[in-house]
Structure 1
Amino acid sequence: MSETTGQVSRVIAIEEHAWTPELRAALLKFGGDETITTWSNQETTNRRLLDVGEERLARMDAMGVDFQVLSITAPGTQQLPPELAVPLARDANDFLADAVRRRPDRFAAFATLPTPAPEAAAEELRRCVSELKFVGAMLFPRTGPNYLDHSSFRPIFEVAAELNVPLYIHPGLPLQAVRDACYSGFSSATNLMLTTGGWGWHAEAGLAALRLTLAGTFDRHPGLQLILGHMGEMLISFADRADALTKTTNLERSVLDCITGNIYATPGGVFSHRMLRQNLDVLGPDRVMFAVDDPYKSTLGQQGKAAFGRGFCRDFIETAPISAEEKSKLAHLNAERLLRI
């Protein structure tokens, strides 16, 4: 199909989640993340997270998504003890690899990494990319009290740079002390939403990427690429202001240059054309890719085909106030280039 009319021939979604029964059980046992309890208790969401087969494929078709990059949902194995995180991450990655082997025409995968054991995490990234042919990894902002810029995690970034694969930084919960100080004082439902999808999650992910920049990650690895979901996790919209940090550092490049040269963004479930336009304005059309945040946006997908004929994801892309070329890059070309899929 010609894409000059604004209709796109392929839609690739790259923030699409799953988990395993063993990981779910461990996360519930160790607690500390109410979202895990919520998702586990929602029968439909839990079932969809566990499924990487026919139900998921049918949901993709209804949404108008041709191809998913699978990833283990937040917080992965990052908040577990090292002795559990390492085998559970390996098992979860093998689970994703099996899904890709069965349907390479519909799936690729990001690795989940056991960051409580950083050296093991780096080796798991190497295994996943070199042996399982994963296209990168998904990380979450913190492991215990330490953000991703902590020196102990540098082996992970060294391997990613060596293998030339991107790292997707997904939101995670703020520290409890921050939650108590900044995200409390309302009803329990409002507190949780303020902590997560209403604000706190996204501030955490954007901060993690900014801290990596300030820590000289891109000086050490100029070609390393990060991906931020949810329209850039606040960092992209604040990039010009964040550049003021440059004069306080000894970075080889400005903060703004790092943001616009080493970071990609996706909608990640935020279906806002005006936020999309801002991402394109800041990053340029070559650095914005599509993502759904499946299965958390799946109810839209179930309604989408009836409402729009081609699925709500295609409708969002094809009705965006951007050029046909920009639509094609958003829908699939940028992901094909960066992830080599």
Structure 2
Amino acid sequence: MKLIGIEEHYLTADVRAAWAAASLAATDPSVAIHSGEVERRLLDVADQRLALMDETGLDVQVLSLTTPALHDLGPQGVDLARRANDAVAEACARHPDRFQALATLPVGSPDSAMLELERCVLTLGFKGTMLCGRIGDRNLDHPELSPIFESAARLGVPILLHPRTPPPTVRSAYYSGFTPEVDAAFAIYGLGWHYDAGIQFIRLVLAGTFDRLPDLQVILGHWGEVVLFYAERLAAMDRVSGLKHPIDTYLRRNLYVTASGMFSAGYLARALAIVGADRLLFSTDYPYQYRPGRDARRFVAECGLDDAGKTAFAYGNWERLTQGVSL
């Protein structure tokens, strides 16, 4: 059975240098985790990555620029995005049976981001794009960012909403008071990342994004970034939301969820109950959740789905979601 991981990350040397030049590590502790072995694996899109994919049992990686991507880099992001996308397109061309890609966008310049998404999908053959939460003080539902979502809906490609670090004021209020190392871990991969990504999706729902763009498809990692586990409480907002449909409708019509290396049959079962078998996607969250010993393939084999469900989860749902684009 083919196995496609749809949330698998890379980094380029010039993006890393741009983060350093902008002193992002001073405001975003996630920048510091992109070092050592993690950084080496992120920068490699060749033989070692392929060998590690084989070791965990993954046939295809869908490559996306890791968080915080270009969200804090302003106008220089336009050129950086183009260079990153061209570089990953070359990797996909060298290994077309092993790599696919999601577009990196200069999100600080929404009109340029819209054009770059069109170039990546229509010219480079990318499968969609990935966004990493807020852009400055703007949440993803801000009207200025609507060209990005409109472009994705028009092209018929999905948007993966990736976690990013909460802003300093939020970290100070909720994720501080321990050691610097614990504060950082708590605010990023311990919990803060995931609340932040889930909140961005719910903001898109409450802002009426999916009423205006009913065909837009969004992906959340880590089994729905907490959202699915509070679906019943979110539904209580139906009486005040003013939306065209119950919130449950958007979960089943506009949301896909992926594992992101959290190989839990219990979490899969919860996702299955909320969004349905045709909206489950596989991923390993490489290199952050790298799992050797063909662990990826073992999880699919033992996840509890029937044969048709396993096929859909392993690759079928992704191929159906990304089977074509339109203008």
Q: TM-score, normalised by structure 1?
A: 0.92
Letter in 2 for 1:329: A
SS at match of 2:5: strand
Q: Quick one: distance in 2 between partners of 1:315 and 1:132?
A: 33
Does residue 315 (structure 1) correspond to residue 315 (structure 2)? The answer is: no
Q: Quick one: distance in 1 between partners of 2:31 and 2:301?
A: 34
Partner residue, 2:28:
33
Contact 1:28 1:37 in 2 (8 A): no
Q: Quick one: distance in 2 between partners of 1:24 and 1:128?
A: 21
Partner residue, 2:123:
131
Q: Deviations over 1:1-45 (max 9, x none)?
A: xxxxxxxx11000000001100001112221222222313x1x21
TM-align CA RMSD: 1.1
| 1:57 maps to which of 27, 33, 50 | 50
Does residue 204 (structure 1) correspond to residue 199 (structure 2)? The answer is: no
Partner residue, 1:214:
206
Percent same amino acid at aligned positions? 43
Does residue 289 (structure 1) correspond to residue 281 (structure 2)? The answer is: yes
| 1:48 maps to which of 29, 38, 41 | 41
Partner residue, 1:252:
244
Q: Deviations over 1:125-173 (max 9, x none)?
A: 1111111110000001100111100000000011101100000000001
Partner residue, 1:325:
308
Q: How many residues align?
A: 321
Partner residue, 1:307:
none
Letter in 2 for 1:326: G
The CA deviation at 1:256 is 1.2
Partner residue, 2:72:
79
Contact 2:68 2:132 in 1 (8 A): yes
Letter in 1 for 2:10: A
Partner residue, 1:308:
none
Letter in 2 for 1:63: T
Please show how residues 105-254 of structure 1 align to structure 2 within 5 Å.
Answer: 105-254=97-246
Contact 1:10 1:331 in 2 (8 A): yes
The CA deviation at 1:321 is 2.1
Q: TM-score, normalised by structure 2?
A: 0.96
Letter in 1 for 2:114: A
SS at match of 2:229: coil
Contact 2:29 2:165 in 1 (8 A): no
Q: Quick one: distance in 2 between partners of 1:261 and 1:217?
A: 13
Runs of 5+ in structure 1 lacking a partner?
1-8, 305-310
Q: Quick one: distance in 1 between partners of 2:20 and 2:222?
A: 26
SS at match of 1:78: coil
Letter in 2 for 1:296: Y
Q: Deviations over 1:25-81 (max 9, x none)?
A: 1112221222222313x1x21111111111111110001000110000001101112
Does residue 334 (structure 1) correspond to residue 327 (structure 2)? The answer is: no
Letter in 2 for 1:81: G
SS at match of 2:194: helix
